[in-house]
């Protein structure tokens, strides 16, 4: 079943609803209401961390395992690539230095192998974080709201996306009003 595309009176596509709350407690309680209503595509915005927010939103650490797998694959790629690169170079361009074996000894390869493992782990961590967070994103529809600019200063917001299966503009507005929102606005794409 295709999701309906909501449009404003001006014909613009609706991104979602942004609700402002007066304090962290009401935001946390509103997050519980939205979570219990079955919404999936929504987020909270606050100028500082609210420690019970993960529990209120129903967030569990599901992303840690895939992220660690990506990081582990990057480390393994760096270690294997570093070792094989050194082995091939010493095999193909064998230079005997002080009577030491060329490509049969693994001990001389340890420092470079270790360093490439660390380097590839760092790169895979950064790339995984960017992919997980959906970055880079140069513009977000919430930035068009003048009130949302206060989210980094002294305001608390909850946004529900129109892509959510449960999203209905009037029902979602009613739910947020009942949760204690002081201001609700429809956000356009």
Together in a domain, 80 and 42: no
Together in a domain, 86 and 111: yes
Together in a domain, 25 and 53: yes
How many structural domains comprise the chain? 2
Together in a domain, 123 and 175: no
In a domain, 108, yes or no: yes
Which of 91, 112, 132 is at the close of a domain? 132
Together in a domain, 123 and 147: no
Residues of the chain with pLDDT under 70: 1-3, 101-103
Q: Which domain holds residue 107?
A: 64-132
pLDDT of residue 6: 82
pLDDT of residue 3: 67
pTM given for the model: 0.72
- pLDDT tens digits along 20-66: 999 999 999 999 999 999 999 999 999 999 989 999 998 887 778 88
pLDDT of residue 16: 94
Helix axes 24-36, 169-178, angle to 10 degrees: 140
Together in a domain, 125 and 159: no
pLDDT of residue 107: 82
Together in a domain, 28 and 121: no
Together in a domain, 128 and 181: no
Burial 52-78 (b: 16+ CB within 10 A, else e): eeeebbeeeeeeeeebeebbeebbebb
Together in a domain, 102 and 148: no
Q: Write the CA distances from 81 to 76, 128, 162, integer angstroms.
A: 8, 20, 45
In a domain, 9, yes or no: no
């Amino acid at each position: 079943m295709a999701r309906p595309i909501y449009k404003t009176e001006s014909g613009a596509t609706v991104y979602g609803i942004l609700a402002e709350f007066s304090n962290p407690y009401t935001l946390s309680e509103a997050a519980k209401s939205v979570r219990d209503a079955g919404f999936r595509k929504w987020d909270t915005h606050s100028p500082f961390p609210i420690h019970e927010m993960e529990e209120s939103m129903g967030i569990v650490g599901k992303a840690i395992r895939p992220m660690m797998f990506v990081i582990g694959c990057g480390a393994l790629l760096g270690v294997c690539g570093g070792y094989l690169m050194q082995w091939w170079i010493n095999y193909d361009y064998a230079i005997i230095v002080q009577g030491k074996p060329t490509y049969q000894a693994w001990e001389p390869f340890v420092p470079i192998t270790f360093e490439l493992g660390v380097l590839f782990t760092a790169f895979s961590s950064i790339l995984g974080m960017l992919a997980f967070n959906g970055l880079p994103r140069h513009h977000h529809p919430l930035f068009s709201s003048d009130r949302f600019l206060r989210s980094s200063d002294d305001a608390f917001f909850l946004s529900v996306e129109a892509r959510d299966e449960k999203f209905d503009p009037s029902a979602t507005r009613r739910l947020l009003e009942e949760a204690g929102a002081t201001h609700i606005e429809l956000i356009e794409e």
